[in-house]
Amino acid sequence: MFYELHSIQLTDFLYLCRSICDEEIKSIIIPIAMHRAGFVNIVGNPNVGKSTLMNALVGERISIITSKAQTTRHRILGIVNGDDFQIVYSDTPGVLKPNYKLQESMLGFSNSALTDADILLYVTDVLDSPDKNAFFLEKVQRMQDTTKIILIVNKIDLIDQEKLEALVDFWHKELPKAEIFPISALEKFNIETLFNHIKDLLPESPPFFDKDALTDKSERFFVTEIIREKILMNYDKEIPYSVEVAVEEFKEEGNLLRISAVIFCERDSQKGILIGKQGAALRTVGTQARKDIEAFFDKKVFLQLFVKVEKDWRNRERKLRNFGYQIEHKND
C-alpha cells in the first residue's frame, strides 16, 4: 500500500516538473524569422527597358543605359538585401538572332537566365513587336508550369488606358499563367508594388551572397562599362558595336584612382573615327567617363584612354574569352 501511494506521488511530481519545464521553455524560445532568397532574372527583347528596370529595383546604377540596342552585353547581378530576404536580380542582353560569335555569347547569357530563375521577369513594352524573336518567347511559354513568370509591360506612360488594356489582354493569351505588371521603369511607376510582390514570392532559403554584397562584378568591369556607355552615346553606325574596352591599370593612391584603359576596335578606319580630329572625340569620351567614374567610386580619377585595332575580335573566341564572354567551343 505504501509502495503504491509513493508511486502515485512520484508520478504526479514528475508530471508537475515536466509541465513547469514546458512552460519555462515556451517562455524563453525566441521565434526564428524565416529567411527568403532567390534569383530574379530579367529577360526580353532589346530596348524594352530591362536595364532601367534592374536599376530601379536595385536602387543603384548597376547597368549602363543608352537608347541604342545591344547596350548590355553581359549578364549582370544586382543584389538587394534585407534583414530577412535577399533578391538576386540578373540583367541580361536583349534577345537577338546572332550574326557573329559575340552575339552568340550574348544570347547564351539570355538563355542561361531561363535555367536558374526562381522568378522570371519577361519584359516587353508598349512599342515591342510580339513576333520579334518569337523563338525565345516560345521557350518562356514552356516554362509556365515550372517557374513563376511575371510579364512586365514597360513604358505605359506612352499610351492611353484603352490601348494598355488591349495589350494586357493580348499578353494574357500569350502567357496565360503569368502575372502581368504594367509599369514605367523610367518614371518608377508601380516599381515599389512590383518589388514587394517579388519579395513575397521568394522561396525560403539562406542568402546566396554576403549580406553586404551589391553585385558579382569587379570594379574594373564597371569602369569598362562606363567607358563603353560614353562610346555608345557619342558615336553612330557600326562604331559602338565594334568596340570593346579593357582596363590595363587600376591603382588606388589614397583618394585618387589611376586608370588606364584600352578601346579595341576592328579596323584602322574605326580607330581614326574614335580618336577624332586632333584627339577631340576621344577626349570627349574620356571627360564624360571620368566624371561618371568619379561619381561611382566617390574619388578623384586620372583616366588615360588608348585605342588599338584588334581585327575581327567579335568572331575570335580566344579574344572573347579574354573579354569575359562565355564561349562554348574553343576554336581560334
Report the pLDDT averaged over residues 106-133: 94
Which residue is associated with the grid cell 532567390? 38
Neighbours of 216 (CB within 10 A): 15
Give residue-wise pLDDT tens across range 32-67: 569 999 999 999 999 999 999 999 999 999 999 888
Which residue is associated with the grid cell 555569347? 105
pTM above 0.95, yes or no: no
Q: Which of 212, 319, 90 is nearest to 330 (CA)?
A: 319
pLDDT for 7 equals: 43
Cα separation, 285 vs 17, whole angstroms: 78
Give residue-wise pLDDT tens across range 214-240: 999 999 999 999 999 999 999 998 899
pLDDT for 329 equals: 52
Q: CA dist 36 to 33, 44, 199, 212, Å?
A: 10, 26, 8, 16
Q: What domains are there in the chain, each with its CATH number? A: 36-201 (3.40.50.300), 219-322 (3.30.300.20)
More confidently predicted of 3 and 107: 107
Task: Write down how long the chain is.
Answer: 332
pLDDT for 16 equals: 52
Which residue is associated with the grid cell 542561361? 112
Report the pLDDT averaged over residues 295-317: 97
**pLDDT(15) > 70:** no
More confidently predicted of 324 and 2: 324
Which residue is associated with the grid cell 577624332? 276
Cα separation, 156 vs 143, whole angstroms: 26
**pLDDT(115) > 60:** yes
Give residue-wise pLDDT tens across range 154-205: 999 999 999 999 999 999 999 999 999 999 999 999 999 999 999 999 999 9
